[in-house]
Every structure is written in structure tokens, then in C-alpha cells.
Amino acid sequence: MTTMSNRYQADAAKNRPTMRHVAALAGVGIKTVSRVMNDEAGVSEATRKRVLSASQQLNYQLDMAAGSLRRSGRQTLSIGLLLPSVSNPFSSEIHRALEDTLAARGIAVFAASLDDDPEREKALVAAFLGRRVDGLVLTPIAKSQSYVIPEHSRDLPMVFIDREPVGIEADAVVTDNAVGAAKAAAHLIAHGHTKLAYLGDRADIQTARERKRGFVEELGRAGIATSAVPVIEGLHDEESACQAALGLLRSEDPPTAVFSSQNLVTFGAMRALKELGASRRVALVGFDDFTLADMMDPGITVIAQHPERIGKLAAERLLARIDGDDSTPQTYVVPSELIERGSGELRPR
Amino acid sequence: MTTMSNRYQADAAKNRPTMRHVAALAGVGIKTVSRVMNDEAGVSEATRKRVLSASQQLNYQLDMAAGSLRRSGRQTLSIGLLLPSVSNPFSSEIHRALEDTLAARGIAVFAASLDDDPEREKALVAAFLGRRVDGLVLTPIAKSQSYVIPEHSRDLPMVFIDREPVGIEADAVVTDNAVGAAKAAAHLIAHGHTKLAYLGDRADIQTARERKRGFVEELGRAGIATSAVPVIEGLHDEESACQAALGLLRSEDPPTAVFSSQNLVTFGAMRALKELGASRRVALVGFDDFTLADMMDPGITVIAQHPERIGKLAAERLLARIDGDDSTPQTYVVPSELIERGSGELRPR
DNA sequence: GTGAAAGCGCTAACAC
DNA sequence: GTGTTAGCGCTTTCAC
């Protein structure tokens, strides 16, 4: 028996030990080891200690994959998260909040970046499915998400974030984009502006469309002719936004207030205003908050989103689904918030 | 036969289909399905097509976990990544670069946040090991990493980033912290400053210690008495850094140039300078680059790190180890870069 | 080219 | 309390 234990021990030092190794060393059956490792009842304290000691001696680690293969329910305690990019500040805040909520349940997170590529979206979903994740949290970018319908019907929990999915009914957690943009317009109008301008992202992005819609509708409510308000779309980076803003501000009848629909666009507008020395003359409200916004001169007024709340809510919905909630899928709206910092409170002239 | 196929098909619509389902529907043996799904040779084109069609019809997805259980080598095509926080900009840039390099090999990334908690470090490593990751990339924060020695000896590939591990010999990828800080000191001295000040992070963080060492050593080389240079450490957030900077700048003999060892500290210093209206009078160089640094007034001169290079290099080292490289572990140093933007080029008086 | 049998590490079901 | 047997979905081995 001693030789056998030794052999198992030597074996386990190089190769990864299994329950058999632990069982042999502890002198018990394999099922007993399983009971101890899973904190199941029905093991005497003495046996428990022997098993624990053997497992520590061998540095044994339960193999979750092998376990879940046999276990009914087949949970892997891991989920897949698809983001525009893991390095995008908005996305990574969501990621963090999700992680915190899921970690409390011992769930690990696979994270991946989409880069606006619909093909990648499908490929990454497939990659996650192959790893048998217990759920999926994704930022949809493909035209339709109907390709996941088979999985969804198999009760794979799924929550969409930032944008609502198309072609499938599933839970979603989004910002009130239209309302937020309308708040920005109303704020500028309340400060005396009638000559507004809109700098927007690509129209194929759902959130961008929503923001534009909200902004324009608010103009209508305020009785400002939409035709008098320049709306520039298709801005996806700082440089193009800066050029667009420069064009507007140098025109014959320049706006006295600008709304930018997204961070990079806001940065471009800020650069343009700075270049023209107009930062304290032309009002600016940007959608989405950013670091150092309060350190600018003037501070930049923004419609802040709450990524941490989106992430937390998405995680909670996912857990509820994992726990068997089968109510009708729903879209949850997280309100945005106007933060006054100076640039949005400048008055015309 | 038809009834059987139908039964399997109905079964597969609700439950997840297995190779058996596909085999039954295609009218072949299970091993043939395996061959097709793994792109193995030795299957006639006709059979291949039948199998492929059946698998698409059922929406079949190969189960990687089950496969790797039996497969020799047992690769799961997933790795674990441990970061200070997934939402930290520096970390998430590393994350992104890692992901890109590993995605090319079909490797998925588990990401998790440490929050400066040594216990979490150990727990998360255990969680990853239980999921049988093929490798680990980690930012060490515990006092010693000797707890992973057993895994390391079992040839689990492992690369440390940002900080070198203690108590174990393993690959590491780090910034040249001391050299970078020395460059900052030299830059300020070259611009005529002799009255410098150092604002630093907590001394228990390795990178913070290195930066201080490099800075102080450069003072020595320049013949500036270290005793004449205030060195404040233990600053871990913007507020404490701001207070420390205010104290220094309001003292009887204030510094003409400040070096801040980290982003949040830099922000605090910027705020203090702004509050005192000293932004254009007192020089500032910060360690680590940040968004909008060029939009400040003046632009903020920084010692930029290259997270994308750190991430890429770490991924490459990990892949090399996974591929069997068993050369002596090594520390790879990624050079930092001085970026002049104005604040660091201000002269005294 | 193809398939049957064994077994990866574990848990379910049941016997003792 | 504890151990034995079967089998999760797949790949290996080897026979046809």
C-alpha cells in the first residue's frame, strides 16, 4: 500500500493528479473524495480530514469540466461577454460591474472584442458555445441576431446590452438614448440657444439613430425649425468630428451651441473649439461622460451614461434566467444623467 | 430509420444535440462525425457533405470540454488573465493586445480583476486552474507567487506582466520603470530645474518603488542633493495627490517642477496647479500617458508606457511556452517613451 | 473509408 | 458512511 501511494504521489508531482490519486493516497474510494471536494454531506470528520490532507499534499484541483460533463444541468460556471472592445472605457466599466456581480456566484467571464465586425460576432458566439458557457451577454452589431435563435430556444440565457437585438426576442439593457439627447437639446435651448448643431456618429448604429431622433424631436417640441439646425452624421473618430465642427463654426451663420453624440466626437468638437479660441463662447454638450471632463476649461457638460448600472443589471438578469426565470423577455432602460460643468451653460453672444 | 432520425431531430431541437444525434441523422458512425467536425482526413467527400448537412440541420456545436477530456495534451484553448481591474485603462489596453494575439490561435480569454487583494489573486488563480486553462497571464500583487510553483513545475505556461513575480522564476514583461522616471528627471533638469518634487504611489507597489529609485538616482547623477527634493509617497488617488501637491506648492520654498509617478497622481497634481493658477509656471511630467493629455492647457508631458506592446509580447511568450519552449525564464523590458506636450518644457521662474 | 470499444475525470444512482 | 458501477460527449486505438 505504501509503495502504491508513493507511486501515485510521484506521478502526481509531474502529471496533474486526479481523484484516483487522492483516493489512493487517502486510502478511500473515489466517490468519497468527490463528496469531500464538493462539500457533500455524509462523510465522517476523520475521513474528511484524511482526504483534505491528501488533496493538499498532491496539490489536487477539481476538474470542473469533467464534473459538469456528467452532472445534470451541465453548468460550467462561466459566461461569454462580447463587447465593442475590451479597451473601450464605456465597455470596460460594464465589464467590471458584470464581473463583480457574477464573481459572487463563482462565475468566470470570457471577454472578447467585436471591432464592429458582424462576422466576428457570429464567430465569437460560436466559440463561446463550443465552450458551453452558461450564458451570453452581448453588444449586438450584426444586422440581425436571429442566428442565435436555436440556442435561445434551448434556453441558453442571453442578455443584450447597449443596443437592442433585431430578429429575436430577448432581454436587453440599454441607456435612454433618445431621452438623454432630448435633455441635452432642452438644456441648450433653456440657456437661450436657438442656433444649435448636431454632430453624430454613423447612422447604422442603433444608439446613434436614437440619439439623433431624441435631439430632433426636442427641437420640434421647442418650435425650432429642424431645417435651420445642421445635422452632421457619419462621424466615427476625433479627426473627422474636428473637421466637421470647424466647418460649422467657420460658416457664415455659425451655431452658438453644439451637441456631440459620442465621446470621440466630443473630443473632436473640443479640439475645434480650442483651435478657434471659441471654447468659452460656443456651448457644448456631449453624450457620454469621460475622465477629466471637469478639468477642461470650461468643464464639459455631458449626458452621462451609467455603465456600472448597465453591467450590474445585465448580470442580474442573466442570473435570473440561469436560475430559471422564464418570464417574457424585456428591455430595461437605464436613465442617463445631465452633468453641468460649464460648457453647456454658456449663453449665446 | 426514418422514425429514428425524426426522434433524434425532435430531441435535438430542445436538448443540445450530440455527435450521436448527428451520426444518426446522417446515417454514419459517431467516429465519422468526429472526423468531419475536426477536419480530419479519411472521409469521402460524399459522407462529409452528409454529415455537415446533418450537423447544420441540428445546429450541432462540438463540445470542446468533452473533447479535451479524452484528447492527449488536454488543451482547452482558453487562458486566464488577471488584471488590477479590467476597467483600468492601462490594463484594458494590455487585455486588448493579448486578446488579438491569442484570438489568432483560437484561444479565448478569461479576464478577472484583483483590486489589490492578494487573497483574490490566489482564489482567482485557483478558479482558472479548476477550469483547466492552458496558461496564465497575471499581474502579481501578493507578496510572493510561490503558491503557483506546483503548477509551474507541471509546465503550466505562465507570464507575469507589469510587475515581476517574487518567489518563483517565470517569464515577465515589464516597463522600464526606473529608466523612464530617470528620463523624466533628466528632462526637467535639462530645462533648468533644480527644485524638483516627487509625488509617488504606495511604496509596497513594485513599480512605484522602481520609479522612485530611477528618479532619485538621476538626481544623484546630476549632482542635486536628494535631501533638497521633497519625496512624497503613499498617494493612491487623485484627492490625496492633490492635497500633497497643494502642500508642496504653498510651502515657503516651492518646487519649480513636479514629477508624478502615476495617472491618478498626475490628475491630482494637475488639479492643484490649476487651483493655484500655476499650470503655466510650474513644470509637470507624469508617468503613464492618458487620453486628452494633449488637450490640457498646457499639454501634459508624460513618460508613456506601451500597454499594447506589453500585451502582445506577453501573449507571444505564453504561446511560445504553450508550444513547448522550455528555455530559462526571462524578464522582457518594454521601453517607455517621453512625450513632450508643454508642461514638462516650462522653465523655472 | 469506416466503425466498435475503451476510457478521459468526474458525478448519479444505487448497493452495502 | 462508504464504495461500485455506469455513463456524460468526446477522442483514441485498432479492427474491418
Question: What whole-number percentage of chain A has pLDDT above 90?
Answer: 93
pLDDT of A230 > 70? The answer is: yes
220-259 in chain B: CB under 8 A from chain A:
none
Asked if A130 reaches chain B (Cβ–Cβ under 8 Å), the answer is: yes
Q: Is A10 a residue whose pLDDT tops 80?
A: no
Report pTM: 0.94
A71, A92, A93, A129: best to mutate for the B interface, most B CBs within 10 A: A92
Compute the nearest-CA separation of A77 from chain B (Å).
9
Mean pLDDT by 10 residues, chain B (349 residues): 52 82 95 95 93 95 94 90 98 98 97 96 97 97 95 95 97 98 98 97 94 97 95 96 97 97 97 97 98 96 98 98 96 98 96
**Quick one: average pLDDT of A18-32?**
95
Picking from B58, B64, B92, B296 by the largest number of A CB atoms within 10 A of its own CB, the best residue to mutate is B92
- Provide the pLDDT for residue B12: 62
CB B55 within 8 A of CB B22: yes
Tens of pLDDT, residue by residue over A83-95, are 999 999 999 999 9
Test mutation, B68, B72, B87, chain A, max A CBs within 10 A: B87
Question: What's the rounded Cα separation, in Å, for the pair B279 and B297?
Answer: 8
Which residue's C-alpha is at the least distance from the C1' of D7? A70
- Does pLDDT of A6 surpass 60? no
**How much is the pLDDT for B14?**
75
Taking only residues 196 to 215 of chain A, the set having a beta carbon closer than 8 angstroms to any beta carbon of chain B reads none
CB B158 within 8 A of CB B315: no
- Pair type for strands A135-138 and A78-83: parallel
A78 at interface of B, judged by CB pairs closer than 8 A: yes
Strand B337-339 and strand B301-304: pairing?
A: antiparallel
Q: Which of residues 131-190 of B touch A (CB under 8 A)?
A: 131-132, 150-151, 153-154
Decide if B292 touches A, using CB distance below 8 A: yes
pLDDT score recorded for residue B6: 55
pLDDT for residue A231 is more than 80: yes
Residues of B in Cβ contact (< 8 Å) with A85:
96
From B113's Cα to the closest Cα of chain A, the distance in A is: 8
Q: Is residue A5 over pLDDT 50?
A: no
- SS3 string, chain A, reads CHHHHHHHHHHHHHCCCCHHHHHHHHCCCHHHHHHHHCCCCCCCHHHHHHHHHHHHHHCCCCCHHHHHHHCCCCCCCEEEEEECCCCCHHHHHHHHHHHHHHHCCCCEEEEEECCCCHHHHHHHHHHHHHCCCCEEEECCCCCCCHHHHHHHHCCCCEEEECCCCCCCCCEEEEECHHHHHHHHHHHHHHCCCCCEEEECCCCCCHHHHHHHHHHHHHHHHHCCCHHHCCEECCCCCHHHHHHHHHHHHCCCCCCCEEEECCHHHHHHHHHHHHHCCCCCCCEEEEECCCCCHHHCCCECEEEECCHHHHHHHHHHHHHHHHCCCCCCCCEEEECCEEECCECCCCCCC
B50 touches strand C (CB under 7 A): no
Q: What is the pLDDT of residue B10?
A: 63
Over residues A44-56, the mean pLDDT reads 95
Contacts of B131 in chain A (CB under 8 A): 64-65, 76, 78, 108
pLDDT of residue A73: 79
Would the pLDDT of A3 be above 60? Answer: no
Contact B78/A at CB under 8 A: yes
Tens of pLDDT, residue by residue over A253-291, are 999 999 999 999 999 999 999 999 999 999 999 999 999
- Which positions in chain A touch B64 (Cβ < 8 Å)? 130-132
Name the nt closest to A47 by C-alpha to C1': D1
Contacts of B108 in chain A (CB under 8 A): 110, 112, 127-128, 131
A-B Cβ pairs (cutoff 8 Å, strict) = 141
pLDDT for residue A4 is more than 70? no
Question: Which residues, at least 6 apart from B123, have a Cβ–Cβ distance to it below 8 Å?
Answer: none
* Closest Cβ opposite residue B96 in set A14, A87, A128: A87
